[in-house]
Structure 1
Amino acid sequence: MSTMEKGKPTVSSDTRWLSEHEQEVWRALRELLWGFESAMDRQLIRDSELSAVEYSVLAALSEADDGVLRARDLARQLDWERSRLSHLLKRMETKGLVTRAECPSDLRGYNIMMTKAGRDAIVQAAPGHVSFVRENVFDPLTDEEREALLSAATKIQASIRDAGLWQNPGGQKG
């Protein structure tokens, strides 16, 4: 537990500090997480004028039955807060990539549909995005390293979820 003493944080003796090697691993992971997301965004914008989040929405819609998803289901699938998705959908609607329509079965909800321009954009973006992922995630790793990455990523996600800190569907923490 951290406490404040004369404006300086103090840490209790039960803090499990990272070893030098653990610090090296943590820094490499942190830089990978921050750098990979930015690199993927730059690749998508360069090749297709779509941001990574726009691509994520269009990819989810392209895999949905009839290219239509309820907004809440889309937020749940992407594991995003509904307010984040709502702001993004407004921008994407302005760009002509998606349309929103009242859900006939629930007038409080909206259905999200990909437009022809949205479908054209995802069709144009997908080959370059898949190449980026293949060349930067899969090609540099052996089969054993891929399995270790999957195992590590799954365990880290589970630990964060178990601590109640992962973003849950519908924008609820915990």
Structure 2
Amino acid sequence: MYSMWLDAEHQRLWRTHLAMVGRLQTAMHRQLQEACGLTLADYDVLVALSEGGPMRINELGEALAWEQSRLSHQLRRMRDRDLVERRDSPDDRRGAVIALTEAGQRHLRVAAPGHADLVRSVVFDGMTADEERALTAWTSRVLHRLGG
């Protein structure tokens, strides 16, 4: 008979995973706030724009897997702090793109080393090559099932 609950082992694994993700996000947010006054959401936007260049809002939303309303509010806050700017699209005179400002680039340069150090020390240090391959395979399968 199908149970609506997870079995004990899956429940333990799932709860451990959720706790890890939550604590990791808290640690990343705290590290970014202390190092340079950025939130984790600020950092996510800055990284996406640094990797993808200026993007239309819908493209940025897809890259971040964020809802339109969340992204709009986040971009407004970041524009108010001069981290990003809205520019006319070079491809379409009616459209606009979001781009990093000089200040946004500076903040990212300050934030990235400490962020990478935290992720490396907490997540990857001590991980074997087999564990890394297994984690990559598992997360890729889950993302695929979610349509991403």
TM-score in terms of structure 2 length: 0.89
Shift of 1:124: 0.4
Q: Highest CA radius of gyration, 1 or 2?
A: 1
**Residues of 2 paired with 1:106 and 1:120: CA distance?**
29
User: 1:158 Cα deviation (Å)?
Assistant: 2.6
Q: 2:97 aligns with which of 87, 111, 122?
A: 111
**How far did 1:32 drift?**
1.1
Bigger helix share: 2
Aligned equivalents of 1:72, 1:110: Cα separation in 2: 11
Q: Distance in 2 between matches of 1:156 and 1:76?
A: 17
* Equivalent residue number for residue 7 of structure 1: none
Corresponding residue to 1:39 among 27, 34, 40: 27
Task: Report the equivalent of 1:18.
Answer: 6
* Aligned match of 1:85: 71
The 5-angstrom pairing of residues 113-132 of structure 1 reads: 113-132=99-118
Q: How does 1:86-165 map to 2 (within 5 A)?
A: 86-103=72-89, 105-107=92-94, 109-161=95-147
In the alignment of these two chains, the number of paired residues is 147
Map 1:56-95 onto structure 2 (within 5 A): 56-64=44-52, 67-95=53-81
Identity of aligned residues (%): 37
CA positional deviation for 1:38: 1.5
* Unaligned residue ranges in structure 2 (runs of 5+): none
Deviation at 1:16, TM superposition (A): 4.9
SS in structure 2 at match of 1:77:
helix
Which letter does structure 2 place at the counterpart of 1:148? A
2:58 and 2:8 mapped to 1: Cα distance?
A: 44
RMSD, aligned CA? 1.8
Matched, 1:30 2:18: yes
Gaps of 5+ in 1: 1-12, 162-167, 169-174
Counterpart AA for 2:13 = V
